[in-house]
Amino acid sequence: MARIPRLRSIAIALAALVALAAATAGILYAVFDLRIELAGSGMRPIISFGDAEEHYETLELNRSQHYSRLLPAGPPSAAAADTGAAADDIYWTDFRGPRRDGRYTQTALRTEWSAQGLDPLWTQPIGGGYASFVVAEGRAFTIEQRRDQEVVAAYDAATGRELWTHAWDAHFQESMGGPGPRATPTWH
């Protein structure tokens, strides 16, 4: 007979714990913009805070500043030139490279680096998704999610400036991999 009150108290404690977890998740969602997405494998959750709308607003502000200046694409930076090949000569035209084997054999690669690491050539906010970049003729191409549209975009490889986009209504999402496109463009 003593087991029934004990089981009841365990059930009440579990129900209280579930209610507390749900209330905490609700507060985190409502106040701190908690978002839970699944990683590409679908097995590991990615927890992030912040409004996705804010990310898109930042991206759109960045693009409007680019287009308002309409600066011509500059020459490759000194860091790009230091690799031994101009950005216009480097081709990575498919997912995992021109032969789709993940090997780069066009020029010699550095094997020794400064302890401080490399300085980024540029940074650029982009939309969501899991697509790779391909590079050809001094441009970097990818596909990304921007609000309820998938967008293929071309960026200047030397400066990161967006050169052009093409968008269509689509929002790919699956439980095993999270939102956004996965296909990598191919250059022909």
Most confidently modeled range among 15-19, 95-99, 171-175, 176-180: 15-19
| Integer CA distances (angstroms), 49 to 45, 46, 55, 123, 172, in order | 13, 10, 11, 21, 21
Kindly indicate the confidence band of residue 180, based on its pLDDT and cuts at 50, 70 and 90: confident
Reading the block at residue 81, the tokens are 């030139």
Nearest-angstrom CA–CA distance, 132 and 38: 18
On the question of pLDDT at 98 being above 70, the answer is yes
Reading the block at residue 55, the tokens are 């990310």
Nearest-angstrom CA–CA distance, 131 and 142: 6
The predicted pLDDT at position 79 comes to 43
Nearest-angstrom CA–CA distance, 59 and 8: 53
Domains by residue range for the chain, with CATH: 75-106+123-179 (2.40.10)
The beta strands (E) that lie in the chain are given as 34-38, 45-49, 134-136, 139-146, 149-156, 162-169, 173-174, 178-179
Nearest-angstrom CA–CA distance, 188 and 185: 10
| Integer CA distances (angstroms), 58 to 62, 70, 77, 105, in order | 6, 18, 25, 37
pLDDT tens for each residue of 119-154: 898 888 888 888 889 999 999 999 999 988 999 999
The predicted pLDDT at position 142 comes to 94
- Cα three-residue angle 70-73-78, rounded to 5 degrees: 140
On the question of pLDDT at 24 being above 50, the answer is yes
pLDDT tens for each residue of 148-177: 899 999 999 999 989 999 999 998 877 666
| Residue 185 near residue 134, CB atoms below 8 Å | yes
Stretch among 9-18, 52-61, 68-77, 94-103 having the lowest mean pLDDT: 68-77
Mean pLDDT of the chain: 79
- SS3 label, residue 117: coil
